[in-house]
Amino acid sequence: MSDIDFGIFFVHGPVLAALQLVARRRLAGPSHYGLGVWLLGTVGVISISMGSIRLVQRLLGERSRYVIGC
């Protein structure tokens, strides 16, 4: 897990921005939906970030450090 922590710091920002963009286009209404949606979003951002990091690590091997920092 510690090999992913540093990468999450760099990857979660673009993932969060992309999910916010999708949510704004798909969901009409208020921007605050409650604690449940916030928790689901948090778990989603972390899961997508971790999956992206693992994918880049598998594809690039040791060179992934230059791209995502881990």
**What confidence score (pLDDT) does residue 2 get?**
67
What does the alpha-carbon distance between residue 29 and residue 68 come to, in Å, rounded to a whole number?
Answer: 35
Question: Is residue 68 a contact partner of residue 9, using CB atoms and an 8 Å limit?
Answer: no
Task: Domain of residue 17: give its range.
Answer: 2-68
Give this prediction's pTM.
Answer: 0.80
What does the alpha-carbon distance between residue 30 and residue 32 come to, in Å, rounded to a whole number?
Answer: 5
Number of compact structural domains in the chain: 1
Q: What is the mean pLDDT of residues 4-26?
A: 87
pLDDT band, very low/low/confident/very high, at 58 (cuts 50, 70, 90): very high
3-state SS string over the chain? CHHHHHHHHHHHHHHHHHHHHHHHHHCCCCCCCCHHHHHHHHHHHHHHHHHHHHHHHHHHHHHHHHHHCC
